[in-house]
Amino acid sequence: MSDRPAEARPSPAGTHEAGVQYAIVPVPVLSLETVARRTGLHPDLIRRFVALGLVDAGRDASERLVFAPTAPAALARVQRLRTGLCLNYASLGLVLDLLDRISLLEAALRHAGVRSDLPPWT
């Protein structure tokens, strides 16, 4: 038995906290087939990108790959960098990491009120 009052205990529809109810909303995911169809890439190439860490994916209860709704945009970015800069897959990981770091640093500068004249590298 809990010593919390009844109104503070979680309910099946969500949680109650000081009279406020929060809904538990499932995060939408995309299947490998859906991502392949939206991007025009072969599923085996997408699996390779996942194995190389170029795009994030999870697994569902059946151990199939599932992707965030942002995965098609991330895959398009990988393809643009690969074709535009003629990079191999190993180099792509490094470039993507550097671009992400640049974006974080630029966001920190904007938050701090520092003006940056650097072009967006995304």
Does the pLDDT of residue 1 top 50, yes or no? no
Does the pLDDT of residue 3 top 90, yes or no? no
pLDDT by residue (tens digit) across 56-81? 999 999 999 999 999 999 999 999 99
Rounded Cα–Cα distance for residues 33 and 47 (Å): 11
**What integer pLDDT is reported at residue 6 of this predicted model?**
44
**What integer pLDDT is reported at residue 19 of this predicted model?**
73
1-5, 49-53, 56-60, 94-98: least confident range: 1-5
Rounded Cα–Cα distance for residues 69 and 31 (Å): 10
**What integer pLDDT is reported at residue 118 of this predicted model?**
59
**What integer pLDDT is reported at residue 15 of this predicted model?**
54
**Stretch 12-30: mean pLDDT, rounded?**
73
For each of the domains in the chain, give its residue range(s) and CATH number, in order of start.
Answer: 28-112 (1.10.1660.10)
Task: Give the mean pLDDT of the chain.
Answer: 84
Rounded Cα–Cα distance for residues 49 and 57 (Å): 10
Q: How would DSSP label each residue in 20-52?
A: EEEE--PPP-EEHHHHHHHHT--HHHHHHHHHH
pLDDT by residue (tens digit) across 77-101? 999 999 999 988 889 999 999 999 9
**What integer pLDDT is reported at residue 55 of this predicted model?**
95
